[in-house]
A and B are shown apart, each in its own frame.
Chain A
């Protein structure tokens, strides 16, 4: 009796479930895998970044642009103050209101800052009274004191020209009349040292308006 002829199948019997070649194929990294993962990681980072910071903060577009000119009545005396009369000086303008608690917090620092730079003939500090009642503003200045000029923003045009959306906000204009720095929120802590130790000294030492 002859042996049963050996006739192995020409190719291994395969099933889609336990096909080793196919499962290797399944885990190969492909271009579209990379795209999907990169997109998801990007979205995740975006959401993560959105968790922090102030959602109502508006990034400024005014730094490096010419400071809008303005004129308005002095809060106390009523005489007109015009920004153009300070051309060639470093002008710091501070938007405030009597109803603003943070403005009270920073007021002491404003006085200190003014005392530090008042002897410099190139330095000007202007307060701008924002969305306020005249009597309230005058009373505030009577209580807290103001050795520097205060302008009243009667119709809100100065504030809107400077893209102000809350108080306090502070802008620093260089001798060429260009906005160089903006501070949103009170000038306290690091914001105060940044202004008094770096921004203002640098700009005050800077060349005058006719240098360039």
Chain B
């Protein structure tokens, strides 16, 4: 029996022992870490829908301000207390009003924000349609047909033409 054939089972055994040992069983800690990531995801999802109160164009997930950091902390604590994302958003809405939402609620005057561009588009389309309609109809209206020639006039024209030909 050579040395390698002894080492391999030995390695296998020690490896198995190591896997079974408490060193490799931080399962609970690992699970907790996964939970934390899930919480982070939840915090991020909520924070991205809320507008930073002092930097206007940023959401509170991206903002570096102290206020945004405190708001993220509040989101985290409320999630840990078992509140739903809707309850947390409702909380911030009750304190800061519509301003705090990156996407304002479709309600009241806010309808203008959502419907306005489409209303303007429709109005513009109508104006364009009417203008084009008018152009095409005014240019294609046929002139009135000439009145039919009366019999005396026709006879006189014939006479004149015959006299001209002679």
Using a CB–CB distance below 8 Å, which chain A residues touch chain B?
2, 4-5, 7, 9-11, 13-16, 22, 32, 35-36, 39, 55-56, 58-62, 65, 131, 155-157, 159-163, 165-166
Sorted from nearest, which 7 A-B pairs have the closest CB atoms?
A: A156-B70, A165-B53, A61-B97, A163-B95, A58-B99, A16-B138, A163-B96
In the complex the two chains form, what is the Cα distance from A5 to B92 in whole Å? 92
Q: Is the interface of A mostly helix, strand, loop or mixed?
A: loop
Q: Is the interface of B mostly helix, strand, loop or mixed?
A: helix
In the complex the two chains form, what is the Cα distance from A114 to B83 in whole Å? 40
Say whether B66 faces chain A, with CB atoms less than 8 Å apart: yes
B97 touches A13 (CB 8 A): no
Known: A5-B152, A16-B139. A36 touches B127 (CB 8 A): yes
A13 touches B96 (CB 8 A): no
Residues of A within 8 A of B119 (CB): 39
Least CB distance from A57 to B in Å reads 9
Say whether B29 faces chain A, with CB atoms less than 8 Å apart: no
Least CB distance from A162 to B in Å reads 7
Known: A5-B152, A131-B67, A160-B70. A10 touches B147 (CB 8 A): yes
Known: A4-B156, A156-B66. A9 touches B96 (CB 8 A): no
Residues of B within 8 A of A163 (CB): 53, 95-97
B144 touches A39 (CB 8 A): no
**With A22-B138, A162-B95 already in contact, 8 other A-B pairs whose C-beta atoms are closer than 8 Å:** A2-B156, A4-B156, A7-B153, A59-B97, A60-B97, A61-B94, A155-B70, A157-B70
A4 touches B153 (CB 8 A): yes
A62 touches B95 (CB 8 A): yes
| Of the residues A5, A13, A14, A165, contact of B67 by C-beta under 8 Å | A165
